[in-house]
Amino acid sequence: MSNRQTVVYRKDYKAPNHDVETINLVFDLIPDRTIVTSTMHVVPREGRESDEFELNGESLQLVSIKINGQPSLTNQYAMNAGKLIFHSIKEPTDIEIVTRINPKANLELSGLYLSNNNFITQCEAEGFRRITYFPNRPDVLAKYTVTLHAPKECKVLLSNGNLVDQGVLPDGRKYAIWHDPFPKPSYLFALVAGNFTVNEDKIELNNDKTALLQIYTEPGNENKTVHAMDCLKKAIRWDEVRYGLTLDLERFMIVATNDFNMGAMENKGLNIFNAKYVLADDGVATDSDYAAIESVIGHEYFHNWTGDRVTCRDWFQLSLKEGLTVFREQEFASDMLGSESAKVVKRIKDVRALRTAQFPEDSGPMAHPIRPDSYSEINNFYTMTVYEKGAEVVRMYQTMFGKEGFKKGLAEYLRRYDGSAATCDDFRTAMAEANDADLSQFALWYSQAGTPRVSVKTQWDESKKTFTITTRQSNRTLPGQPKPQPLMIPLAVGVLNDKGEDIPLQLEGEPLPVGTTRVLLLNQDVQTWTLVNVDRRPLLSLGRGFSAPVICDMDLTRDQLVFLAKNDSDLFNRAEAFEKLSILAIDAFIQELRKTQNANSLSPMEAYLATFEEILNDERLSPAYRAEILKLPSEQAIYESQIIIEPALIRAACQAMQKKIGQRLKTSFEDKVKTCTTEGIYKYDPDLAGKRALKFLSLSYLVASGNPKGVQQTRNFFEKGNNITDKLGALSIAVHSGLPIRQEMLNKSSIAWATEPLLINKWLEVQALATSVHGEMPVVNKIRSLMMDPLFSIKNPNNVYSLLRTFFAKGGPEFHTLDGSGYQLWIETVLNIDSFNPQVSARLARTLENWRRYEPRLSSMMYKALRYVSQQKNLSADLREIVDKAIN
């Protein structure tokens, strides 16, 4: 494990002195002593700074080095702090390096490791240096030929590219040779060897070639890859149609594994996936899992062009591939949804995730621009900011230039940089030049951290029939950063008249109105727009579709919010208005609880309940849309609306409000449970999924209000449901509401689900979100006992994320207990996991970083927990960076 404490700065980038044109890798795969023989053809670069050829290495045992076929002399190279440096490579040179590694002891899951006795690799960002010495940086692109030698039990031997040869060695072991014709950085290298079954299909490409598609899984899962294969074909087709981008390989492979730190990995031609983003059938995957699989399969496939064909020059440019690919994935997922109202649900969910996870990141100790300026551990920068805010920044190009303009810009970028490593500036410049635009100010989105605020004031002059919109942007000053500058912000707006209709928008000086939604392009601190011919009382609908990743402030009265929630033609903004109303209502409960510790006397205001009921019963709105907007804002979303976070108070307010809503709208909810129950065999389909979502939303309000019929129905869906969406939906309601039947349900599911890792994760996650019941074991203790359960393994990242990360991030008052027992568990698990998997411990540790925002009784204990961890010696560089930034 590395203990590097050095900070890397973007400004220090230097081009490498040498290229590696080809690399030939031979692996003798043995679980505890694999031998790797690497032969590189190294070529000095024109204009290089020196003749030193620098390679990285970590946890390697060096066996031998040959230079141009001759055993090397020790004065030809030096070994120093994880680096192997050849002093003088002035000519094209063949260097052979033999190393020995121990995949079996690799619990970091970076480099070559074992998963259920199968060999798997993970090389992004810096895992390749744990396989062999190599210039392990993304701007060194080589052509790979890979030979695998493996025990004869290994049924499947895979690497990137095309299969050149395979067979049996004289000693009975097996071999396979793979060649990848595309030059690639080492982080895209992959190998897989072991016992897998395969689901195969073919696809005709738009260049008349046929590609072989393969999905490899552990035996027993062969029938769970139908959905993933379907998604893969859709993704390939979509990239052809939308962007004219064709699969460039004869064969495209996906491998699923249960031991993976992240979601999935885009290795060229050989994507490796966390099993939860591949496997699906009615017994293991919920409606949301089906949708997530579609997105992740799309994401990794789209990387083939945006990431693999054009990669990143250095890791500071990570958002170049990730922001862009998340945007492409979102557009794909949205295009796969038929109706407008289904598409908007996807957008609402994405924006909610951004607001509840990226906004707090951007205002906390880990705040960084989408293109960071420094890091001490790159693995800590696979963040919501780089990915999701990065995607919003990419989306703004499309908002400014339209789909066609964006497509032109993307084509130009790929044309310029195909086969090479590029920067965020390169992308922006290609977009600007393809669209004849000046995007120099837009560059600030890449360098400025923090969520910009735009406050908006409007004024209607009834006699002049003018409506003026004044915007003022303000960006938070962050320590160590230059004074923030005004950004270029495309703000989509519409105007409703007093009948709730969109009016045609005509700016002063324009001969005619231009549409009913328009994009105002902000580029100064304060700006004013004047609309003319506005003859009835107008109301601004601001930031339609979330056109920019900013916080919009506009003083709206409750009545205006109700009006927008009922009438806005932009369904995204209707949801926004309703969410604001919900937060106002919850706030009232919070105030009441603060005064009386009992909110039972309070009821949400009439207008809110009436709007709720109207939306709930509005058959013109899809069930999916109604389910999404009528769900109470998540506790994390409420945290964002509060100055000081009081987890217990917020949970109590939510419970009280749910109860009131459940009592009041009982009949409507009962009706929805009945009419939204889907009959017949399970099928994933966004419309049916929407009905199931509305059914469970209604049920959760009924159960919260203590409705006995609701409780009975919860039990029924669990017992009789023919799909996991129903069973899990019912189980989570029971556990989260602390229903007496919950333990029986949990016992039953642990028996029925024990052999399915994916179901065990769900079982753990449900319990991480449990509510303590008076007189019974507190949830913290329950979590501790689950950690001792044979079904839980602390070595498995999915288990850790499902149980511990969920508990730390979303357990609310169950985690933030006044006796500090939650934080004690946090300390113990973070340190324990750090001793073998720093990437996971660092991600887990981030759950306390916003400690400053909590009520003092909690924040002082949170601080102490962070400080305690930071005082330990031998922390990984990953964890050290997180805890030190959090407390300093």
- Residues near Zn ion (CB under 5 A) are 322, 325
Tokens of 211: 């590609």
- Residue 14 identity (one-letter amino acid): K
Tell me: does residue 576 bind ligand PHE (CB under 6 A): no
The site partner of 96 among ligand PHE, Zn ion, none (C-beta below 5 to 8 Å per kind) is none
Tell me: does residue 188 bind ligand PHE (CB under 6 A): no
Query: 260 vs 826, which CB is nearer to ligand PHE?
Result: 260
The site partner of 869 among Zn ion, ligand PHE, none (C-beta below 5 to 8 Å per kind) is none
Pairwise CA distance, residues 36 & 54, whole Å? 19
Give the active site residue among 58, 218, 266, 300.
300
Q: Determine which residue in the list 19, 96, 124, 570 makes contact with ligand PHE, applying CB under 6 A.
A: 124
Binding span for ligand PHE by CB under 6 A among 8-16, 117-125, 756-764, 785-793: 117-125
Pairwise CA distance, residues 84 & 160, whole Å? 26
Pairwise CA distance, residues 660 & 798, whole Å? 36
**Closest by Cα among 441, 444, 447, 424 to 367:** 447
Q: Give 279-293 as a DSSP string.
A: ---TTT--HHHHHHH
Q: Determine which residue in the list 382, 442, 682, 792 makes contact with ligand PHE, applying CB under 6 A.
A: 382
The site partner of 264 among Zn ion, ligand PHE, none (C-beta below 5 to 8 Å per kind) is ligand PHE
Size of the site for ligand PHE (CB under 6 A): 12
- Residue 684 has what DSSP assignment? -
Known catalytic membership, residue 300: yes
Query: 375 vs 823, which CB is nearer to ligand PHE?
Result: 375
Residue 125 Ramachandran class (φ > 0 left, ψ -120 to 50 alpha, else beta): alpha
Query: Please, what is the minimum distance in Å from the beta carbon of residue 254 to Zn ion?
Result: 14
Q: Determine which residue in the list 126, 139, 248, 300 makes contact with ligand PHE, applying CB under 6 A.
A: 300
The site partner of 27 among ligand PHE, Zn ion, none (C-beta below 5 to 8 Å per kind) is none
Tell me: does residue 840 bind ligand PHE (CB under 6 A): no
- Residue 801 has what DSSP assignment? I
3-state DSSP assignment of residue 33: coil
Which x/- pattern, by CB under 6 A, does the window 672-711 give for ligand PHE?
----------------------------------------
Tokens of 13: 């980038």
Pairwise CA distance, residues 720 & 700, whole Å? 18
* Alpha helices for 721-837 (secondary structure H): 724-736, 742-753, 757-768, 779-787, 797-800, 806-810, 821-834
Pairwise CA distance, residues 723 & 454, whole Å? 45
**Closest by Cα among 20, 10, 13, 24 to 45:** 20
Positions 229 through 268 that interact with ligand PHE (CB under 6 A): 262, 264-266
The site partner of 331 among Zn ion, ligand PHE, none (C-beta below 5 to 8 Å per kind) is none
* All residues at 6 or more sequence positions from 671 whose CB lies less than 8 Å from its CB, including other chains: none
Query: Please, what is the minimum distance in Å from the beta carbon of residue 325 to ligand PHE?
Result: 7
The site partner of 265 among Zn ion, ligand PHE, none (C-beta below 5 to 8 Å per kind) is ligand PHE
- Residue 262 identity (one-letter amino acid): M
Binding span for ligand PHE by CB under 6 A among 91-99, 122-130, 239-247, 820-828: 122-130
Query: Please, what is the minimum distance in Å from the beta carbon of residue 192 to ligand PHE?
Result: 15
**Closest by Cα among 569, 582, 641, 638 to 608:** 582
Q: Determine which residue in the list 58, 308, 314, 322 makes contact with ligand PHE, applying CB under 6 A.
A: 322
Query: Please, what is the minimum distance in Å from the beta carbon of residue 387 to Zn ion?
Result: 7
Per-residue HEC secondary structure of 831-857 comes to: HHHHCCCHHHHHHHHHHHCCHHHECHH
Pairwise CA distance, residues 568 & 575, whole Å? 9
The site partner of 224 among ligand PHE, Zn ion, none (C-beta below 5 to 8 Å per kind) is none
Query: Please, what is the minimum distance in Å from the beta carbon of residue 798 to ligand PHE?
Result: 14
Query: 262 vs 539, which CB is nearer to ligand PHE?
Result: 262
Pairwise CA distance, residues 346 & 335, whole Å? 10
Tell me: does residue 319 bind ligand PHE (CB under 6 A): no
3-state DSSP assignment of residue 784: helix
Tokens of 462: 């009834």
Tell me: does residue 108 bind ligand PHE (CB under 6 A): no
- Nearest position to ligand PHE, beta carbon: 262
- Residue 792 has what DSSP assignment? -
Query: 325 vs 448, which CB is nearer to Zn ion?
Result: 325
The site partner of 382 among Zn ion, ligand PHE, none (C-beta below 5 to 8 Å per kind) is ligand PHE
Query: 125 vs 158, which CB is nearer to ligand PHE?
Result: 125
Query: Please, what is the minimum distance in Å from the beta carbon of residue 635 to ligand PHE?
Result: 27
Pairwise CA distance, residues 841 & 831, whole Å? 7
Instruction: Find residue 387's DSSP bridge partners.
Output: none
Half-sphere exposure of 639 (CA within 13 A, CB side): 25
Q: Determine which residue in the list 130, 184, 276, 299 makes contact with ligand PHE, applying CB under 6 A.
A: 299
Query: Please, what is the minimum distance in Å from the beta carbon of residue 129 to Zn ion?
Result: 21
The site partner of 124 among ligand PHE, Zn ion, none (C-beta below 5 to 8 Å per kind) is ligand PHE
Strands (E), 365-430: 374-375, 420-422
Residues annotated catalytic, as ranges: 300
Contact residues for ligand PHE, defined by CB under 6 A: 122, 124-125, 262, 264-266, 299-300, 303, 322, 382
